[in-house]
Amino acid sequence: MHAAMLLRGYLDFRKFANAARDPLKTQQRLLREIITSNANTLLGIKYSFASVDCYDAWKSKVPIHSYEDLRPYIEQQLESGVLASSAGVPVFYTQTSGTTGKAKLVPVISETLSSYKRAQRIFTFVEYRDIPGIFSGKILAIVSPAVEGSLKNGIHYGSMSGLVYKNMPASVRRQYVLPAEIFEIDDYDAKYLSIAALAAAEESISVQASANPSTFIRLQEVINQHAEGLIAFVRSGCLSSLGNAILMDTSIPALTNRTPNSQRADYLQEILNRKDSLPFSDLWPNLKALVTWTSGNCAVLLPALEKLLPAKAKIVEMGYLASEFRGTITIDCLRNLGAPTIEDIFFEFIEKEDWHSGQREAKTIDQLEAGKHYYIIVTTPNGLYRYFINDLIEVTGAFINTPTIRFVQKGSGVTSLSGEKIYETQVIEAVTLSCKHLGIHPGYYILLANRDDFSYSLFFDAKNLDSVVEFEQEFNLRLAELNMEFRDKVKSGRIRKVTVRAIKPGVYEAYKDHLVRAGQREGQFKMTRLQYRDDCTFRFEDYLL
């Protein structure tokens, strides 16, 4: 594995560094390749890719797209095989929540998978370079299932993190604590307990990785809740020691074919007797790094996470990752700087203020200014052309001559506390369906996302509401149907169900008056149904029934 770090990873890193010396040239070359390769697709013909000879022509001919704009072409190619969105043949699809209840399916072509694996090799080399001993022990990585189902054409869909996990070099896979099958356990309690069992049994874990820090907070809770059972499992090697019927029936060899380890069990028991818990810092004192998201809402959890770790363990930024593309590679683990994946994705940026004012003049990567916030637009080889993902990024510095960026938050009309991406359209539809089911007419309402405790509050005009509890149950059910990631995050305990809070009639007028008095023009006032709590200057709590 060390040889792989020094050879393959270093060569990929050096090539990436050379590309970063002239990012505009690298990006222009990539755009030409994408345009040329996809000129004969239905989208390429529609926007005359063959006649595009420069960036100015590109942005004048091709509009900015949402996923819904591109969905018909992606689905046409999926169903018929016609080269509608991409000249590359999809070998896999990633799935994520869309603005409606219908999930987004993002095609993965062989080039996409190759670029992800190359980016991971570069990141692994940087970790190896910056953090001594990071791979001296085992790797505890927690990802989503690689395969979650199959489409009509027989192609699988699932997560890119799971797919990359399964396709890493054998030298890396041998270091894994967890087999890929464990991520396919449907029951979240069973899955976390399975992960906890295998992790607790492992004496030397030097690096942990999972996209969301809430995963580690949850894992620590599970370990402490089941400490006695986990110690018994380590001591006996028998799954029945955990006393969990769901786990006892599993056929995963890593769980059922265990060698008893009384020495490890004695060590864990001594910690439990002394501390009444099994903290990460004592479970794995050799832990060198924990790799996760550190930006956006995830930053709220970092202080709690730091308390779990050995004093010298470093929290490393995993990078700006979305289901649709990989945005950055962390190229400095000490400062957590992320360089855009300029060899794989063509980037455009629009300043935050310009976007909100209606201006759509995009900038290329060489025009970015340090400290500024931009909305990001990407063009990818797998058929996302000038795709607007509604993400705000900040320019944080530079890697050679290429600006480094970090994710800040989702833009207007969408919130995400733990990756669930709730859209305003989903809130409206969930309220509409709930009211229809209960036979009531909705008054004013707004859903506020609370970053401090990863919860949502729906403030709802109660003039037509007979039972808050009944409405709360119905709303959570409808929102879970419309947003699979909200459903999964609630099930796994990473976010809470929405709490409905009844407010007095007339709150809408008070809210509007508050914003107008604060300087918003009355003629430009827009009805808001979804917002982050700390961005909302009006106290709906003062109007509770």
3-state secondary structure labels for all residues of 355-376: HHHCCCCCECHHHCCCCCEEEE
What is the C-alpha to C-alpha distance for residues 251 and 181, in angstroms, rounded to an integer? 10
What is the C-alpha to C-alpha distance for residues 2 and 119, in angstroms, rounded to an integer? 17
Please indicate whether residue 11 or residue 241 has the higher confidence score (pLDDT). Answer: 11
CB 381 within 8 A of CB 37: yes
Query: What's the confidence (pLDDT) of residue 441?
Result: 82
Strand 314-317 to strand 289-292: parallel, antiparallel, or no bridges (unpaired)? parallel
- The closest of 409, 408, 436 to 422, measured between CA atoms, is 409
Query: What's the confidence (pLDDT) of residue 106?
Result: 95
pLDDT band with cut points at 50, 70 and 90 for residue 242: confident
- The closest of 49, 74, 58 to 348, measured between CA atoms, is 58
Percent of the chain beyond pLDDT 90? 68
What are the residues whose beta carbons fall under 8 Å from the beta carbon of 76, sequence distance 6 or more? Answer: 42, 82, 84, 85
pLDDT greater than 60 at residue 522: no
What are the residues whose beta carbons fall under 8 Å from the beta carbon of 521, sequence distance 6 or more? Answer: none
Q: Look up the pTM and report it.
A: 0.85
Which of 27-31, 96-100, 177-181 shows the lowest mean pLDDT across its residues?
96-100
- CATH 3.30.300 maps onto the chain at 414-543
For residues 7-20, average pLDDT = 93
For residues 377-393, average pLDDT = 96
Helix pair angle (213-225, 227-236), 10° resolution = 80
pLDDT greater than 80 at residue 368: yes
Query: What's the confidence (pLDDT) of residue 248?
Result: 55
Query: What's the confidence (pLDDT) of residue 515?
Result: 81
pLDDT band with cut points at 50, 70 and 90 for residue 461: confident
Type of residue at 284: W
Query: What's the confidence (pLDDT) of residue 376?
Result: 97
Encoded tokens for 425: 């359209």
What is the C-alpha to C-alpha distance for residues 90 and 43, in angstroms, rounded to an integer? 16
CB 300 within 8 A of CB 307: no
Count Cβ neighbours within 10 Å for each residue of 303-332 and write b for 16 or more, e otherwise: eebeebbbeebbbbbbbbbbbbbbbbbbbb
Please indicate whether residue 189 or residue 20 has the higher confidence score (pLDDT). Answer: 20
Count Cβ neighbours within 10 Å for each residue of 272-282 and write b for 16 or more, e otherwise: beeeeebbbbb
CB 362 within 8 A of CB 380: no
Encoded tokens for 36: 């040329």
pLDDT greater than 90 at residue 312: yes
| Long-range residue pairs from 313-317, CB within 8 A, at least 24 positions apart, any chain | 313/281, 313/287, 313/288, 313/289, 314/131, 314/288, 314/289, 314/290, 315/289, 315/290, 316/127, 316/131, 316/289, 316/290, 316/291, 316/292, 317/291, 317/292, 317/293, 317/406
What is the C-alpha to C-alpha distance for residues 106 and 300, in angstroms, rounded to an integer? 30
Which of 134-138, 368-372, 451-455, 495-499 shows the lowest mean pLDDT across its residues?
451-455
For tokens 């059910």, name the residue. Answer: 477
Query: What's the confidence (pLDDT) of residue 250?
Result: 64
Mean pLDDT, all residues of the chain: 91
Run of H or E residues at 112: helix 110-130
Query: What's the confidence (pLDDT) of residue 5?
Result: 66
Query: What's the confidence (pLDDT) of residue 244?
Result: 62
Which of 119-123, 203-207, 505-509 shows the lowest mean pLDDT across its residues?
505-509
CB 424 within 8 A of CB 100: no
| Residue count (the chain) | 545
pLDDT greater than 90 at residue 487: yes
What is the C-alpha to C-alpha distance for residues 446 and 460, in angstroms, rounded to an integer? 7
Say how many C-beta atoms besides its own lie within 10 A of residue 16's C-beta: 25
pLDDT greater than 60 at residue 249: no
State pLDDT tens for residues 263-283: 999 999 999 999 999 999 999
Type of residue at 524: Q
- Which CATH code of 1.20.58, 3.30.300, 1.10.1760, 3.40.50 fits the domain covering 414-543? 3.30.300
Run of H or E residues at 409: strand 402-410
pLDDT band with cut points at 50, 70 and 90 for residue 245: low
pLDDT greater than 80 at residue 504: yes
Q: What are phi and psi of 442, to 5 degrees?
A: -75, 140
For residues 423-441, average pLDDT = 89
Q: What are phi and psi of 538, to 5 degrees?
A: -100, 135
Say how many C-beta atoms besides its own lie within 10 A of residue 545's C-beta: 12
State pLDDT tens for residues 212-231: 888 999 999 999 999 999 99
Query: What's the confidence (pLDDT) of residue 521?
Result: 55
pLDDT greater than 90 at residue 132: yes
What is the C-alpha to C-alpha distance for residues 295 and 318, in angstroms, rounded to an integer? 10
Percent of the chain beyond pLDDT 70? 95
pLDDT greater than 80 at residue 4: no
Question: DSSP letter at 240?
Answer: G
